[in-house]
Chain A
Amino acid sequence: METIRADVVVLGAGGAGLRAAIALAEADPALRIALISKVYPMRSHTCAAEGGAAGVIKADDSLEHHFNDTVGGGDWLCDQDAVEYLVREAPKELIQLEHWGCPWSRESNGSVAVRPFGGMIKQRTWFAADKSGFHILHTLFQTSLQFASIRRFDEFYATELLADEGRCAGLTAIEMRSGQIHRFDARAVIIAGGGAGRMFPFTTNGAIKTGDGMALAYRAGVPLKDMEFVQYHPTGLPSTGTLLTEACRGEGGVLLNRNGRRFLQDYGMGPETPLGHPVLKTMELGPRDRVSQAFWHEQRKGNAVPTQWGDAMLLDMRHLGEKKINERLPLVRDMSISYMGVDPVTDPVPVRPVVHYMMGGIHTDIRAATSLPGLYAAGECACVSINGANRLGSNSLTELLVFGRRAALSAMEYVQSGARPGAEAALSAAAVAAQARIRDLMQRGGGTETVAGLRKEMMHTMEQHAGIYRTGDGLAEACGKLADLRRRYARIELHDKTNVYNTDLLQALELGSMLDCAEAVTQSALARKESRGAHQRLDFAERDDRNYLRHSLAFYHPTQAPRVDYSDVVITKSQPGVRDYSGGHK
């Protein structure tokens, strides 16, 4: 087995992973950095983010505003010290990205332009037309190419973390092109593996978003935090789930039901604002959880627009005009035409809520450190937590920059504080065992289950019981079903038993990750008997601060359901209050 020795292993080469790798390389050129990803960096799902990244830059805005929007938007489940850190670092990170060449859209005087976004009281979302994530990813990737100390391992799939004496000491990974297991020794590991939206059938997430990083840490004993909070983005194309950015509404697009009514006014987000003049933090610029929930109610009332792909609402952008749509939302127009056959310049586009983002993830402290010494996490796979019960659009791109860098600095401090590599005997034994487990999965015969079959059942279960509104009965059923699926997973047999670029094996491993994450979602959701942010229970319709102003922590068990525990929310200056999107503010 080939062994690669590094000081820091960064797992995941999307926005957070690349930002971490660059921070490490800049801080200490002598550090040996191994950047591992199951895909080439430019394929990472950061590229699909459209709207932009939030950071206070304009004179009329303040860190205080950004803090309040974020904490309120998260229904007070955010750790406020982390949010303070985020909003303080955000402008620096976004300027840093500008210095690296990110083609941010500009004002006529040459300063960066900002646009309105849901739940934000000021315009503070930096954007590069409607391909902001794409440009952030490519800017980071291209910038990373100048650092010789960043050694990339593209298309390596990590299978297990290696630990020695209670410290994280590296990982094992399969090189996809050869099928060979490699051992990576490291004094610190940063996981930046992204979210797990693919556990749902209808999602904006790309095929690679299977929660591998989360599962890796989870199985190593690190709890997954607040996993019950799954964000539905209100505006996905019903045909494919393709995202139409919130910037559609930021630029002035409105949502209509089948009667042509801007129905958000009926759900505490009114009064109606004038067409073409969006007002911040109300109506179509309400937060994603509220807008998606409003659609659910409209659907129940029979006000949804029927399409061949199911119920939808209409996103009307016609009044923006062709010039503005082409300039600000070119991708939206292109995708609406390609995948729905609807041109937003001439017709309203049918859209419906679609699974988009995991607020929860690997439990870290404000330093991006996990409970396992030497293990750090950042980006969507982590829960630090700045998103609480509902993330505001355009905070995630900022988060992966700010906490990608933070994870790097923490890991470096840890390495420089004299963290030793793991003992050879222990690592070697663990790696050989990890290799044996993969070999067993590949060579196993007589299996009765298939990857595609189990995956389909998992997706169906999640959609049915862990969607926008949940019930205790439904969640209990989902938990039972997932436990069963995990058992059946042990009886899976691969069709493809060859080594080179075996995607049957890859998908089997990804399914394993998703099943573990899915169970953490449903168990945490079942245990949280309240409604908060993106977690809405029909049987517990109110927020319950007395009992549940706490983070849930799901602890892995190899054969049983996870144990769900809780930890306190950090509150520094904003006491829980009412989330007001009624436009009553001045």
Chain B
Amino acid sequence: MGERPVELEILRYNPETDREPRFQRYSVGCREEWVVLDALNHIKETVDPTLSYRWSCHMAVCGSCGMMINGEPKLACKSFLRDYVGVIRVEPLAYFPIERDLVTVIDDFMDKLARVKPYLIPKREQPVSDGEYRQTPAELKKFKQYTLCINCMLCYAACPQYGLIPKYIGPAAIALAHRYNQDSRDGGRDQRQEEIAATEGVWDCSFVGACSEVCPEHVDPAGALQQVKIASTVDWYREHLMPWKKK
């Protein structure tokens, strides 16, 4: 059972005592198989109880522990110490305001998520007593990957467009809207288009593709965004070239 010394450089910020964030270095003995989150917990338990960060499940499904690790947006519970050499630099997720230490303010994401109506708007209402809507495995597969978003917001921290244009709705929220648009049971696309086909929706995306590269669940939000762009473009041509087909 190997143990090795690990150096972490953590961005600290307490609004009550610090004018601005500063790095603090910690040297702790860590076990070989640990993840960065284990190291943070070890620091909090044995060195510095004032260190603040969010975490819960330790299995990459609750989405709490997103942070910048050596400049990359990562889940701390899935970033293995063995994959790093030298000092590990830990910062709060980029582009979000820092509440305290590694804790960010995520109101913006929560508001945007609600705006895109990420819930089923049934194509045809059916009472529960009539049983489930039928959906074939193929129809399920069409949108399944977009359901896997854990709202960890690594994609926002990877997206320079979000950093530059804070109004941009952003990858995860649009991917979730797309998830419902693609669902065979759903008929709510028109209602969602208002938000996601707007400038601050997909058209602020310049297809950097970083969101999909950092997504820990392989949701591929970049793919969703491009598909929405294509569908919205088709909508536009339909409306302008075939006005008689207007619904």
- A and B found bound together: yes
Q: Which residue of A lies closest to B120 (CB)?
A: A101
Q: Is the interface of B mostly helix, strand, loop or mixed?
A: loop
Q: Which residue of B lies closest to A96 (CB)?
A: B128
Q: Can you give 27 A-B contacts (C-beta < 8 A)? A: A42-B151, A43-B57, A47-B150, A96-B128, A100-B119, A101-B180, A101-B185, A104-B132, A106-B136, A110-B135, A142-B118, A143-B120, A145-B113, A145-B114, A146-B119, A243-B59, A335-B60, A450-B49, A452-B45, A494-B49, A495-B49, A498-B50, A499-B16, A500-B100, A501-B52, A501-B103, A503-B53
Q: Are B59 and A48 in contact (CB under 8 A)?
A: yes
Q: Considering the complex, which residues of chain A in the window 45-88 have a beta carbon less than 8 Å from any beta carbon of chain B?
A: 45, 47-48
Q: Which residue of A lies closest to B53 (CB)?
A: A503
B189 at the interface (CB under 8 A from A): no
Give which listed residue, A43, A105, A494, contacts B56 with CB less than 8 A.
Answer: A43
- Shortest C-beta distance, A271 to chain B (Å), equals 35
Q: Considering the complex, which residues of chain B in the window 50-108 have a beta carbon less than 8 Å from any beta carbon of chain A?
A: 50-64, 78, 80, 99-101, 103, 105-106
Segment at the interface with B among A131-139, A218-226, A296-304: A131-139
Give which listed residue, A45, A111, A154, contacts B57 with CB less than 8 A.
Answer: A45
- Shortest C-beta distance, B97 to chain A (Å), equals 11
Q: Are A242 and B59 in contact (CB under 8 A)?
A: yes
Q: Which residue of B lies closest to A110 (CB)?
A: B134
- Shortest C-beta distance, A518 to chain B (Å), equals 19
Q: Are A207 and B59 in contact (CB under 8 A)?
A: no
Q: Are B61 and A111 in contact (CB under 8 A)?
A: no
Q: Are B136 and A108 in contact (CB under 8 A)?
A: yes
Kindly list 15 other residue pairs between chains A and B, CB separation below 8 angstroms, not including A99-B126, A335-B60, A495-B48.
Answer: A40-B110, A40-B151, A42-B62, A43-B54, A99-B132, A101-B120, A103-B143, A106-B137, A138-B149, A145-B117, A240-B58, A242-B59, A495-B49, A496-B49, A504-B50
A575 at the interface (CB under 8 A from B): no
Q: Are B186 and A498 in contact (CB under 8 A)?
A: no
Chain A residues in 8 Å Cβ range of B44: 452, 503
- Shortest C-beta distance, A177 to chain B (Å), equals 6
Chain A residues in 8 Å Cβ range of B122: 99
Q: Are A498 and B120 in contact (CB under 8 A)?
A: no
How does the 8 Å CB contact mask read for A91-132 relative to B, with 1 for contact and 0 for none? 010011011110111111111100000000000000000010
How does the 8 Å CB contact mask read for A224-262 relative to B, with 1 for contact and 0 for none? 000000000000000110110000000000000000000
- Shortest C-beta distance, B184 to chain A (Å), equals 9
How does the 8 Å CB contact mask read for B30-47 relative to A, with 1 for contact and 0 for none? 000100000000001110
Chain B residues in 8 Å Cβ range of A108: 136-137
- Give Cα distance in the complex from A480 to B122, angstroms: 57
Q: Which residue of B lies closest to A338 (CB)?
A: B78
Q: Are A207 and B55 in contact (CB under 8 A)?
A: yes
Query: Interface size for chain A: under 10, 10 to 19, 20 to 34, or 35 or more residues?
Result: 35 or more
A47 and B137 in contact (CB under 8 A), knowing A498-B16, A500-B100, A501-B52?
no
A268 at the interface (CB under 8 A from B): no
A98 and B148 in contact (CB under 8 A), knowing A45-B62, A134-B61?
no
Q: Is the interface of A mostly helix, strand, loop or mixed?
A: loop
Q: Which residue of A lies closest to B41 (CB)?
A: A207
- Shortest C-beta distance, A288 to chain B (Å), equals 19
Chain A residues in 8 Å Cβ range of B230: none
Q: Which residue of B lies closest to A112 (CB)?
A: B132
How does the 8 Å CB contact mask read for A329-350 relative to B, with 1 for contact and 0 for none? 0010001001100000000000
A99 and B128 in contact (CB under 8 A), knowing A142-B119, A240-B58?
yes
Q: Are A42 and B119 in contact (CB under 8 A)?
A: no
- Shortest C-beta distance, B151 to chain A (Å), equals 5
Q: Are A103 and B133 in contact (CB under 8 A)?
A: no
- Give Cα distance in the complex from A65 to B223, angstroms: 45
- Shortest C-beta distance, B139 to chain A (Å), equals 8
Q: Are B58 and A206 in contact (CB under 8 A)?
A: yes
5 pairs of A and B residues whose beta carbons are closest in the complex: A110-B134, A101-B120, A206-B56, A501-B100, A206-B57
B131 at the interface (CB under 8 A from A): yes
How does the 8 Å CB contact mask read for A466-507 relative to B, with 1 for contact and 0 for none? 000000000000000000000000000011101111111001
Q: Are B118 and A145 in contact (CB under 8 A)?
A: yes
Q: Are B61 and A95 in contact (CB under 8 A)?
A: no
Chain A residues in 8 Å Cβ range of B78: 338
Q: Are B134 and A111 in contact (CB under 8 A)?
A: yes
Q: Are A504 and B148 in contact (CB under 8 A)?
A: no
- Shortest C-beta distance, B178 to chain A (Å), equals 13
Q: Are B148 and A131 in contact (CB under 8 A)?
A: yes
Q: Which residue of B lies closest to A133 (CB)?
A: B61
Q: Which residue of A lies closest to B134 (CB)?
A: A110
A547 at the interface (CB under 8 A from B): no
Q: Are A39 and B59 in contact (CB under 8 A)?
A: no
Q: Are B49 and A452 in contact (CB under 8 A)?
A: yes
How does the 8 Å CB contact mask read for B128-156 relative to A, with 1 for contact and 0 for none? 11011111110110011001111100000
A368 at the interface (CB under 8 A from B): no
Residue picked from A99, A146, A240, most chain B C-beta under 10 Å: A99
- Give Cα distance in the complex from A243 to B61, angstroms: 12
- Shortest C-beta distance, A563 to chain B (Å), equals 33
Q: Are B58 and A242 in contact (CB under 8 A)?
A: yes
Chain A residues in 8 Å Cβ range of B14: 498, 500
- Give Cα distance in the complex from A406 to B62, angstroms: 26
Give which listed residue, B50, B62, B64, B106, contacts A495 with CB less than 8 A.
Answer: B50
Q: Are B180 and A95 in contact (CB under 8 A)?
A: no
Q: Are A103 and B33 in contact (CB under 8 A)?
A: no
